[in-house]
Amino acid sequence: MLMIDRAPAAVPVRHTAAASAPSAEPIPIFVPARILIPALAVSAPIVPVGTEADGSMGTPKDGYDVAWWQGVRVGAGNALFAGHHDWNGDAGSFYSLGDLKPGDQIIVEGDGAAVRFRVSWVKLLHGGIDATDILGPATGPHLADKQV
């Protein structure tokens, strides 16, 4: 699952519901340290963030790092990551996130483990949305990436 947030656009650019077969391998549960998106040549460190005073998810403090909402460890339920589209005039780690296509892989590594996610849809959304509206209840590990 891939969520893209790039205001002011609110028109979906792609929305493909392509179901993927469940993995036969057990999913490791771990604290993430790096995100790799081979189709975009992204390899970025992951920094844990919490919830801000206004209830929003914290964001990375630079254009390269990717924030991970530490409320749920990877593999234990839905995971939520946020990266910048741009930063001080330079492309951020999630600059080309909208170029992903269903079937592209996102790899999250940490604690000597890794889990591979497959993009099932890409959609542009307004900022300030409640991620639970998109992710819903955890029926297996899912990943949401958000540009900020």
* Segments making up each domain of the chain, as ranges: 4-16+31-128+142-147
The model's confidence at residue 56, banded by pLDDT at 50, 70 and 90, is confident
pLDDT digits (tens, 9 = 90+) for 111-126: 999 988 898 888 776 6
Determine the average pLDDT of the residues in 4-11: 29
Determine the average pLDDT of the residues in 71-86: 83
The model's confidence at residue 28, banded by pLDDT at 50, 70 and 90, is confident
Please provide the distance, in angstroms rounded to a whole number, between the alpha carbons at the two ends of the chain: 17
CB-based contact 74:124 (threshold 8 Å): no
The model's confidence at residue 42, banded by pLDDT at 50, 70 and 90, is very high
Give me the CATH code for the 4-16+31-128+142-147 domain, please.
2.40.260.10
**pTM tops 0.75, yes or no:** no
Question: In the predicted model, what is the mean pLDDT of the chain?
Answer: 76
